[in-house]
Amino acid sequence: MSAGRERGAAAAKINLALVVGPRRADGLHEVATVMQRVGLRDGLELEPARRLEVAGFAEDTLVREALRALAAAAGVEPRWRIRIDKQIPVAAGLGGGSADAALALTLANRCLAQPLAKERLGALAARLGADVPFFLEPGPKLAEGAGERLTPLRLPQEYTVLVVLEEGRVKRSTGDVYSRFDELGGGPGFEERREALLAALTACGRPSDLAVLPPNDLAAAAGGSALPARLRELGAFRADVCGAGPAVYALFAERRDAAAAAARLDAGARTWVVDPVW
């Protein structure tokens, strides 16, 4: 391994659309989802150490797992110390753990005497979790299959995002949300809904065109929320649940309108006014 300290920022994601199909033979669900990074970030700092240490976020498991997997693939000992400055809400549907794992892989890979090739690093990321490969490369993407098939997208970026986490909202595990989706009868008509998503993507030339993307199929299974409708009343041209929830996002044409909407929400809600990031 090379000496030196590596730093970076891991951005959260929102799902601008999430179409979910039936459960496959391997237990996973077919999905077609549009993933966009936003400017809500964790900070990571990695340096050589005598043994693997993860500091700053006691609940981490995925970063530790990622670094161990990278070391095993490279044939070295996982001798890194990484500090996580956690700003992305945990278990909110914003992909913070996956973003951190992807950045940890990138930073540690730079420190290797013989870094893994891009394709090999991507395969390793896919074994860690369906969302991790998305965070290895910049730009919004269409994720298909179980989330591992990624297609870069050119989407408008001139809007403001309001992320909201309501007080008292607790996330069910992602597995539980998908099971509830099955119980509610979700899945049929997936191919038609997927085709509708692809058609809508071809028409996305302006930020307001994002409003016609299909809604999040997991919203009801995640517990449902009146907040997206409320945010649309407050001027958002699109609002929906993030991933498997419970966080909600809303898109506004102007930052001042996003800030005004945040100010009108219940005092207990946590809010972040951020930009889409590439």
Determine contact, residues 92/99, Cβ cutoff 8 Å.
no
CA distances from 267 to 6, 171, 246 (A): 38, 20, 17
pLDDT on residue 3: 61
Q: Which residue has the tokens 């993030």?
A: 242
pLDDT on residue 148: 86
Helices 118-128, 62-74: crossing angle, 10 deg rounding: 140
As to burial, measured by CB atoms within 10 angstroms (0-12 exposed, 13-18 middle, 19+ buried), residue 210 is: buried
- List Cβ neighbours of 14 (8 Å cut-off, separation of 6 or more): 35, 36, 38, 94, 161, 163, 242, 243, 249
Burial pattern 142-171, b for ≥16 Cβ within 10 A else e, equals: bbbeebbebeeeebeeebbbbbbbbeebeb
141-145 vs 6-23, strand pairing mode: unpaired
pLDDT on residue 153: 97
pLDDT beneath 70: ranges in the chain: 1-3
pLDDT on residue 268: 86
Query: 228: cis peptide before it, omega within 30°?
Result: no
Among this protein's residues, is 13 annotated catalytic?
A: yes
Please report which helix (H) or strand (E) contains residue 231, including its range. helix 227-233
pLDDT on residue 233: 98
Tokens of 170: 């607790």
- List Cβ neighbours of 110 (8 Å cut-off, separation of 6 or more): 2, 6
> Cα–Cα distance between 133 and 148 in angstroms, integer?
7
pLDDT on residue 1: 57
Question: Mapping DSSP to helix (H, G, I), strand (E, B) and coil, where does residue 148 land?
Answer: coil
> Cα–Cα distance between 99 and 187 in angstroms, integer?
28
CA distances from 260 to 87, 238, 246, 248 (A): 22, 16, 22, 16
Tens digit of each residue's pLDDT (9 = 90 or more) over 80-103: 999 999 999 999 999 999 999 999
* pTM summary value: 0.94
pLDDT on residue 2: 55
- Which candidate in 60, 131, 217, 257 is catalytic? 131
